[in-house]
Amino acid sequence: MDRALTGEPAGRPAPRPPRTGTRRGWSAWVLWGLRRAAGGIGVLWAVATIVFVAIRLIPGDPALAILGGPGSQASAEAVEAVRREYGLDRPVLVQYAVFLGRLATGHLGDSYAFRTPVSELLAQQVPVTLTLAVAGLVVAWVLAIGAAWWSTQRGRIAAALTGAITVTASVVPHFWLGSVLIVVFASALGWVPAVSDGSLRGWVLPVLTVAVPVAGYLAETVRDGVVDAQRSAFALAARGRGETRVGLFGRHLLRHAALPGIALSAWAFGSLVSGAVVVESVFALPGIGRALVTAVTQRDMPLVAGIALVSAAAYVVVLAVADLVERAVDPRTRDRRPAGRVGRVRVRTQGRVDAR
């Protein structure tokens, strides 16, 4: 049962009867929103703490990083002055408290290297990476659905070929794929620019590069889901009703196959942001991925922290969106409650949901 590989299985433990209110009441959604917000804040706090600790662990004096790097001739007085100014001479816990306090009020500080507010830098760079990731996800889904169609509806040879292509696609390294695409489509054919230049065409290759590996992974999942769905009773019934193959595929099969894919998309988003680090370097996109590499190299702590937090926040939002979409697509998931511990017998008043 390949669907089980990919996340929450479609067959879920039996939902308990709701304790209060109606299933689809506003209160349920508000509660959901609050729960997720609280969880999100928790995640951000944890990420901030991890970043703080990690940066302390990286060898190197932050005062030197502020003064332009270890190759500088900064005098002892300058180093001392910087230490005082940035509060680096205070005890670690105090620094942590100050750090958290500033974050809570939305101050991400100034970049050590660029001496400009981190929020300004992020405001310029985050949209680029976000565009890359979202566009990459969309393209990946399109490719995955196409691959699923080809591998399930077009016969055995197509299926085998598509299967081979998707597995290959999922293990192609970004930097290599990017360079090959540049050489073929930009240098040799001249259809698109080699590096980003602000135009729409300049986005084609980077988006493709970042989307292909994810598409490979997604295609497997969607294909398995479609195969499963094809065998089910309702599919046969739909065919019996005269539904066309395309209609069946689009309206019914995909819907059921998409569910695990949605959970996977959340993971894929993180993977896309990671891939962006490499892709932005290859295609010269001014996003946070590229900035991250430089920031770590330069020990630019505020910028590293800012980027980590933005990625975490984006991820929290993506997870929430994925959850929403799951609930929208599959009504059965709306009142999930975790089952009790093993060892306690539960008497169920409702039958188990058909684990189809």
Tell me whether residue 14 or residue 250 sits nearer to another protein (CB atom). Answer: 14
Whole-number minimum distance, CB 149 to another protein, in Å?
21
Handedness of CA 248, 250, 255, 256 (dihedral sign): positive
Whole-number minimum distance, CB 246 to another protein, in Å?
26
Whole-number minimum distance, CB 186 to another protein, in Å?
6
Whole-number minimum distance, CB 275 to another protein, in Å?
8
Question: Tokens 């591998």 belong to which residue?
Answer: 151
Tell me whether residue 251 or residue 356 sits nearer to another protein (CB atom). Answer: 356
CA-based nearest residue to 254, from 270, 266, 240, 238: 238
One DSSP character per residue, 110-154 reads B-TTT-SBHHHHHHHHHHHHHHHHHHHHHHHHHHHHHHHHHHHHS
Task: Report the run of H or E that residue 328 belongs to, with start and end.
Answer: helix 301-329
Q: Give the pair of three-digit tokens for residue 131.
A: 């565009």
Tell me whether residue 153 or residue 281 sits nearer to another protein (CB atom). Answer: 281
The gap from C-alpha 111 to its chain's centroid, in whole angstroms, comes to 25
Tell me whether residue 14 or residue 28 sits nearer to another protein (CB atom). Answer: 14
Tell me whether residue 246 or residue 284 sits nearer to another protein (CB atom). Answer: 284
Whole-number minimum distance, CB 315 to another protein, in Å?
4
d(CA 320, CA 32): 10
E strands, 48-192, in order: none
Decide if 259 contacts 10 (C-beta within 8 A).
yes
